[in-house]
Amino acid sequence: MKKEKYLFLYLILFLLMTVGAFVWQIFFPSVAENLSVWGINRGWQVEIALWNVGIDIGIVITLIKRNTEYAKIITVISVSLCILLGGHHLIYALTATNGNTSLHWMGAIEVLLIGGGAGIVAMIKSRCFKQN
C-alpha cells in the first residue's frame, strides 16, 4: 500500500462521519435536545451542518483528483476539527452536573478518539510532514 493511501482512507472515514452528522443535525435536530446538556438550537445546528458540507466538498474534490497535497491539507484541517470539537464534547461529558451527556460521550468517542485518532495515525503512516 502506498503511504498516501492512509490519507485517502482517513478522508473517506471523515466524510462518512460528517455526512452522518449533517443528516442528524438537519433531519433529526431533537437528538441534540434529548441527548445533550446544550438543548436544541436549530439555527446553530443548521450552521454546523452547512460547515460539514463545506469541508465535504473539499474532501470530495480531493478524493476525485487523488491529489496528495490536497489530502495532506484537508487531513490536517479535519484532525484539528476532531480534536477541538471532540475535546469540547469531552469537557461537557466530564463536567456537566445535570442533563443528559450521552451525545457528549458519543462525540468524545467518535470525534475525538476515532476521528482524531485515526487522523493522527493516517498522518504518521503517510509521513504527512516528511519532506520529499
Write the pLDDT tens digit of every residue in 16-63.
999 999 998 899 888 888 888 877 777 888 888 899 999 999 999 999
* Residue 12: inside a domain: yes
Residue 110 cell numbers, joined: 467518535
Q: Would you say residue 14 lies in a domain?
A: yes
Structural domains counted in the chain: 1
Instruction: Report the predicted TM-score, pTM, of the whole model to 2 decimal places.
Output: 0.88
Judged by average pLDDT, the poorest of 60-64, 79-83, 98-102 is 98-102
Q: Report yes or no on 132 lying in a domain.
A: no
**39 within domain boundaries:** yes
**What's the whole-number average pLDDT of the chain?**
91
Residues 67-76: b if buried by 16+ CB within 10 A, e if exposed? ebebbbebbe
pLDDT of residue 37: 83
Q: Is residue 121 part of a domain?
A: yes
pLDDT of 62 reads: 97
Report the range of poorest mean pLDDT among 3-12, 22-31, 105-114.
22-31
Q: Residue 118 sits in which domain range?
A: 5-125
pLDDT value at residue 46: 87
And the C-alpha cell for 111?
470525534
- Asked whether residue 130 is domain-assigned, the answer is no
pLDDT band, residue 1 (cuts 50/70/90)? low
Which residues neighbour 73 within 8 Å (Cβ) at sequence distance 6 or greater? Answer: none
Residue 131 lies in a domain: no
Sorted by sequence, the CB contacts under 8 Å of residue 109 that are 6+ apart come out as none
Predicted local confidence at residue 132, as pLDDT: 61
Q: What is the pLDDT of residue 23?
A: 93
Does residue 94 form part of some domain? yes
